[in-house]
Structure 1
Amino acid sequence: MSRISLVAGRIALSLPTIFGVIVISFLLTRALPGDPAAYFAGPTATPESIAEIRHSLGLDRSLPVQFLAYLQDLATGDLGRSISTGQSVLSDLLTRLPASLELTFLALLISLLVAIPAGILAATRPDGIVDQATRFLVTAGVSLPTFFTGLLLLFIFYFKLGWAPSPLGRLDILYLPPPQLTGFYLVDSLLAGDFETFRAALAQLALPAITLALFTMAPIARMTRAAMIAALGSEYIRTARAAGLSRRKVLFVYALRNALLPVVTTLGMVFSFALGANVLVEKVFAWPGIGSYAVDALISSDYAAVQGFVLTMALLFVTLNLLIDILYTLLDPRIAHES
C-alpha cells in the first residue's frame, strides 16, 4: 500500500472518532451544572429575562433539535458565540491556539534535547551516574504536579533572584506584539527582524516551557532508555560489533534508529498529556492559551466555547496521530508495505 493510500485510510478511520467526540462533548456540556442563560443575564435578572435569553440561545428546544442545529452550524464552520467573551468561538480559539501551541512545542523541544541524550547515555552506562540522574529526573517529573513546579520556579527565579519577568502573559507591557504571520511570537519576531521583542517573548516563555518540559521529560527519557537497552542487547547489534563497525555507528545508526519507533509513539502520547497539563501551567503564568479559555468557559457553563475547545483538541489529536503514522513509514518503510 502506498503512503498516500495509508494517509487516506487513516483520515477515513478518524472521521467516526471526530463524530463521536462531537456527540459526547455536546451531551457532556448539557450536563454541566449551572444555567448559561442565567449567567449571561446577570444576578439581578428576572425569570422572564432569563427565559427570553434562553430562547434566544436556543436552549429551550429539545436536545435532538439543538444537536441538529449544532451540526448544521459546524458544517458551515460556525462554532457558535461565546457568552463569556461575546466573540465567536472560532475567533477566540484562533487567537489563543498559537499561544498554547508555542508553549507546547518549545516544551517538547526542550524535553527532546534533554531526555533523548540522557536516555541514550543511561542505556550505554547502566547504573552509572547518568543513569541514576535520569531515574531521578523520571521520578521527579512524574511525581511533581505542574502547578507546584511552576510556582516553585516562580518563587526562585522571579521573587527571590529576580531573573525572570513577571508572569503576565506572552509579552511584557513595555513591548508590542510582532506582526502576526504565524501567531508564534518567537517566529514572528524573528521574521520581522525584531530581536528585542524576540528576547522579551523568550523570557516570558522560558519558565512556562521549562515547567511543562519537566513534566514531559520523564516518559521520553524512560522510553528512550528502555528502547536503547533492548536495542543494544539484540542480535543484530552484536553482529554489527563483531563485524568491526565503530561504536558511534553501532550506537547511532543501528541502535538509535530502531529505538526511535517506541520513542515516537511515546512522543505522541506526551504531546496529548502536555496539552492537558497546559491548563494548569497557563493559569499559573497567566498565559492566554486555550487551556485557560476552557477553564473560564467551564466555570460559566459556556456551551459553545467548551464544545469548540473539545473539538479543537480532538482535531489536534487526530492530526498528531496522522503525522506519527507518516513518521512511522519514514522510519520503517516495512509498515507501509505490511499495511
Structure 2
Amino acid sequence: MGSFSLLRRVAGAIPSLIGVIIVTFLLSRALPGDPAVYFAGPAANAESVQQVRESLGLDKSWPEQFVRYVLDLAHGSLGNALTTGQPVLDDLVQRLPASMELTLCALLFAVVLAVPLGVLAAAKPDSLVDHLCRALVTVGAAFPTFFVALLFVYLFYYLLGWVPQPLGRLDEIYYSMPPTVTGFLLVDTLLAGDLEAFRGAAAQLVLPSISLGLFALAPIARMTRAAMLTALGSDFVRTARANGLSRRTVLFTYAFRNALLGIVNTMGMVFSFLLGSNVLIEQVFGWPGVGSYAVSAVIASDYAAVQGFILLMAVAYVLLNLAVDLVAGLIDPRVRFEG
C-alpha cells in the first residue's frame, strides 16, 4: 500500500515537471540579450552572429526549438552550455555537491540553534529565552543573506582575520584537492586521510554556512516554538502531567515527539528554499556551486544552462518532498502519501 501511494505521489509530480519545462523554456527566451551575440564575441559582424545563431538552432521558431529541447530531454540531454562549452548535465553534476554541502551545513547550523531555542522558548513563555527566540527570528528574517555575508566577510576576514580568504571551497595554494569520491570536500578529505585539507575545507565553510543558516534559523525556530506551544497545551500533555511524569519526560517524550512532524515539514521546505536561493551567497564567497553557475548563465542568456538549472531545482524539490513524506511516515504512522 505504501509503495503504491509513493508511486501515485511520483506520478502526481509529473504534470508539475511538465509545467516547469514549458514555463522555463518560455522564460529563458524572454531573457534580455542574444546568446548568439555572446557566443560570437564582441568583434563579430552580423554575418558571423547569424552563422552562430543557425549553428545553435536559434534561427528556428519557438515551437521547433521546444520540440528539439523535449527530444533532447527524452534522450537524457540538457544541451550544451555556451558559457563552459560542456554538456549542461555534466556541469550540474560537477557543481551540485558544492551547493549541497553548503546547504546541508547551513541547515545543520540552523537546526542545532533553532530547535533547542524553540523548545525552550515554548517551555518558558515570556522568559528571557522566549524573548531571545523572538528577537533572533525577527533579525534573521529581516536582513538579506547577501548583506549578512558581506558584513561577516568585512568583520571576520578583513578586520579580524579569523577566517581564510573567501574564495572558493579550498585554498589550493596551501592544500591539495582530494580525489573526488562523493564531491563533498569534508567527506572526501576524511576518506583521503588528509586532516589538514579537512580543516581548510571546514574553515572555508564557516562564514557561508552561518550567513545562509541565519536565514533558515528564523522559520525553523518559529515553527518549533509554535508546534511546541500547541503540543504543551493539548489534553494528552495535561494528562501526562496529572499522572506525575517528570517535566523532562513530558517535554521531550510527549510534547516534542508530537511537534516533530511540523518541524520536519518546515525543515524540508527550508532546505529546498536554501538550495535554490543560495545564489547570492555563492557569489559573495566565490563558491563553485550551481547557484553561481545559474548567474553566469543568466548573464550570458545561456538558454540550456538556465533551463537545466531550473529543471534540476524542480526535480530536487519533488524528491525532497518525497523524502519528507517518508520521514513523516516514520515519525507518525498515521501519515499517508495520499495527501
- Class of the TM-score when normalised by the shorter of the 2 chains: over 0.9
Partner of 2:322: 322
Partner of 2:290: 290
**Separation (CA, whole Å) in 1 of partners of 2:287 and 2:37:** 28
Q: For residues 211-230 of structure 1, what are the structure 2 equivalents within 5 Å?
A: 211-230=211-230
Quote how far apart the aligned CAs of 1:276 are: 3.2
**Separation (CA, whole Å) in 1 of partners of 2:323 and 2:276:** 19
**Separation (CA, whole Å) in 2 of partners of 1:8 and 1:238:** 40
CA 1:176–1:23 in structure 2 vs 1: closer, same or farther (change >3 Å)?
Answer: same
Residues 3 and 326, structure 1, Cα contact 8 Å, conserved in 2: no
Quote how far apart the aligned CAs of 1:277 are: 2.9
Amino acid across the alignment from 1:226: A
Quote how far apart the aligned CAs of 1:11 are: 0.5
Amino acid across the alignment from 1:276: G
Q: Secondary structure at 2:259's aligned position in 1?
A: helix
Report which stretch shifted further, 119-128 or 171-180: 171-180
CA 1:48–1:337 in structure 2 vs 1: closer, same or farther (change >3 Å)?
Answer: closer
CA 1:262–1:176 in structure 2 vs 1: closer, same or farther (change >3 Å)?
Answer: same
Structure 1 runs (4+) deviating above 3 angstroms are none
- Aligned residue pairs total 338
**Separation (CA, whole Å) in 1 of partners of 2:75 and 2:177:** 31
1:65 counterpart = 2:69: no
Q: Secondary structure at 2:67's aligned position in 1?
A: helix
Residues 6 and 337, structure 2, Cα contact 8 Å, conserved in 1: no
1:20 counterpart = 2:19: yes
Deviations 1:255-295 (A, max 9, x none): 11111111122112211221233101001111111111101
**Separation (CA, whole Å) in 1 of partners of 2:105 and 2:40:** 41
Amino acid across the alignment from 2:302: D
Partner of 1:332: 332
Partner of 1:267: 267
Quote how far apart the aligned CAs of 1:87 are: 1.1
Deviations 1:65-107 (A, max 9, x none): 1111111111111111111111111111111111000000010
Quote how far apart the aligned CAs of 1:338 are: 7.5
Deviations 1:276-318 (A, max 9, x none): 3310100111111111110110011000000000010001100
**Separation (CA, whole Å) in 2 of partners of 1:64 and 1:308:** 19
Quote how far apart the aligned CAs of 1:3 are: 2.0
Quote how far apart the aligned CAs of 1:185 are: 0.1
**Separation (CA, whole Å) in 2 of partners of 1:109 and 1:10:** 28
Residues 107 and 213, structure 2, Cα contact 8 Å, conserved in 1: yes
**Separation (CA, whole Å) in 1 of partners of 2:32 and 2:336:** 47
**Separation (CA, whole Å) in 2 of partners of 1:116 and 1:296:** 36
Q: For residues 195-274 of structure 1, what are the structure 2 equivalents within 5 Å?
A: 195-274=195-274
Deviations 1:186-206 (A, max 9, x none): 011112221111100000011
**Separation (CA, whole Å) in 2 of partners of 1:269 and 1:324:** 9
Partner of 2:152: 153
Structure 1 runs not aligned, ≥5 long = none
Deviations 1:46-69 (A, max 9, x none): 111111111110111111111111
**Separation (CA, whole Å) in 2 of partners of 1:291 and 1:97:** 9
TM-score by length of 1: 0.97
Amino acid across the alignment from 2:181: L
1:169 counterpart = 2:152: no
Residues 116 and 221, structure 1, Cα contact 8 Å, conserved in 2: yes
**Separation (CA, whole Å) in 2 of partners of 1:21 and 1:337:** 23
**Separation (CA, whole Å) in 2 of partners of 1:97 and 1:122:** 36
Residues 212 and 277, structure 1, Cα contact 8 Å, conserved in 2: no
Partner of 1:131: 130
Amino acid across the alignment from 1:215: F
Deviations 1:113-138 (A, max 9, x none): 11000000000111111111111110
**Separation (CA, whole Å) in 1 of partners of 2:337 and 2:38:** 56
Structure 2 runs not aligned, ≥5 long = none
**Separation (CA, whole Å) in 2 of partners of 1:311 and 1:256:** 36
Partner of 1:97: 96
Q: Secondary structure at 2:278's aligned position in 1?
A: helix
**Separation (CA, whole Å) in 2 of partners of 1:139 and 1:209:** 19
Q: Secondary structure at 1:127's aligned position in 2?
A: coil
**Separation (CA, whole Å) in 2 of partners of 1:160 and 1:18:** 47
